[in-house]
Amino acid sequence: MVLLFPEVKDLFTQIKLFPIATSSISGVPNVVPIAFCVLNDDETIWIADNFMQKTLANLKENPVIAMYLYSADLKKCYQLKGSVKIVTIGPDYEKMREMVHKLKPTLPAKTLLIVKITEVYQCNPGPDAGKKVQ
């Protein structure tokens, strides 16, 4: 797994909406905006599934994800890729449900997606655009 460096972790905390991309096993892509993403530790992101349909179906077939971190204010952007574990029971799942319900009690918090970050890419325009940084 990849440990995120401070610049990426700082950018992560600035973002309110995370574009998340998945693909079916046959390669049909899907991108959705996700509001509940938490940097659980330096290599793990928790994503709460409240209303996922195609995303969850894709992850059951093909448990990989890409997400885009961008801040116009900081003029920084990175793409993160990772492997996903789908969790519907247990202490981590219950902790995620508690976190979601504390912010918005009406959300279902159906599933916890645990993302282990495997790659980080530079996305800023210029000669390093698309360069793998981790």
Domain residue spans of the chain: 6-122
β-partners of residue 124 are none
Q: pLDDT by residue (tens digit) across 44-96?
A: 999 999 999 999 999 999 999 999 999 988 889 999 999 999 999 999 999 99
Q: What is the structure's pLDDT at 108?
A: 95
CB 4 within 8 A of CB 120: yes
* DSSP string across the chain: --PPPHHHHHHHHH-S-EEEEEE-TT--EEEEEES-EEEEETTEEEEEESS-SHHHHHHHHS-EEEEEEEETTTTEEEEEEEEEEEE-SSHHHHHHHHHHHHH-TTS---EEEEEEEEEEEE-SSSTTTT-B--
What percent of the chain is modeled with pLDDT above 90? Answer: 96
Predicted TM-score (pTM) of this structure = 0.94
What homologous superfamily is domain 6-122 in, according to CATH? Electron Transport, Fmn-binding Protein; Chain A (2.30.110.10)
